[in-house]
Amino acid sequence: MKIFLDTANIQEIKEAAQMGIIDGITTNPTLLAKESGKELQMIASEIIHLVDGPISLEVLSQKAEEMLEEGKRLFDISHKHVVIKVPMCEEGLRAIRMFAFHKIPTNCTLIFSANQGLLAAKAGATYISPFIGRLDDIGEDGMVLLENLINIIDFYGYETQIIAASIRHPLHVTQAALLGSHIATVPYPVLKKMFHHPLTTKGIEVFKQDWEKFIQSSN
């Protein structure tokens, strides 16, 4: 499973990229708004310099034709890296079809039902992003949606890749991997938690102490 980082924060991306396990980046307007004082173009260029993978940048226009124009400008930042994030809605689906015609990759975001995912895949979305955590928040099971989408995409052989998004904790990542999600996009604090286990920490400490005892006894 590919792991994307769900952030627009350059420091987080720098640290995660050094770990060598980040395959791409997803951003959204909320994440970008946290990086106040910087222009989108500058943030995107910095990200591209750090991560050699797809980087989702979201369009804010309301009409398909305007989404296309806005998306083309974003795509020009880097044809190799930029993926246009398009919200799930009727205009968004029309835009995804147009982007596909222009061979511009898309990530259909804000997917909360299997039907929405099916429509996005049919429209030619490169990626679809079901929001797991936000469904859990309202008492639904986000993992059921992810499983349904994996089955639908697999059954009909769509090339669309599924990004498990709105990930809130390490268990979400494990569950997404077990279901066979192509990708999980993970906030940095969740990624850091994935490294840790109390028995690993304890084990490292005990090995260190025992090795020091061994060194002392052999002097």
Q: Does 133 bind ligand G3P (CB under 6 A)?
A: yes
Q: What share of the chain is helix, strand, coil (3-state, %, to 5)?
A: 55, 15, 30
Of 26 and 160, the one with the shorter C-beta distance to ligand G3P is 26
Q: Does 166 bind ligand G3P (CB under 6 A)?
A: yes
**How many residues appear in the chain?**
219
Provide the minimum distance between the beta carbon of 194 and ligand G3P in the complex, in angstroms, as a whole number: 16
Distance CA 120, CA 133 (A): 20
Of 23 and 215, the one with the shorter C-beta distance to ligand G3P is 23
Residues 21-60, one symbol each (x = binds ligand G3P by CB under 6 A, - = not), give: -----x-x--------------------------------
State the first-to-last Cα distance of the chain, in angstroms, to the nearest integer: 48
Q: Does 107 bind ligand G3P (CB under 6 A)?
A: no
Of 28 and 119, the one with the shorter C-beta distance to ligand G3P is 28
Of 177 and 206, the one with the shorter C-beta distance to ligand G3P is 177
User: Per CB under 6 A, which region of 120-128, 129-137, 174-182, 190-198 contacts ligand G3P?
Assistant: 129-137
Residues 6+ apart with CB under 8 A from 188: 5, 7, 9, 12, 15, 16
Distance CA 47, CA 10 (A): 7
Q: Does 185 bind ligand G3P (CB under 6 A)?
A: yes
Distance CA 170, CA 118 (A): 27
Active site residues: 85
Distance of CA 127 to the CA centre of its chain: 10
Q: Does 134 bind ligand G3P (CB under 6 A)?
A: yes
Map tokens 């769509």 to a residue.
158
Binding residues for ligand G3P, rule: CB under 6 A, are 6, 26, 28, 131, 133-134, 165-166, 185
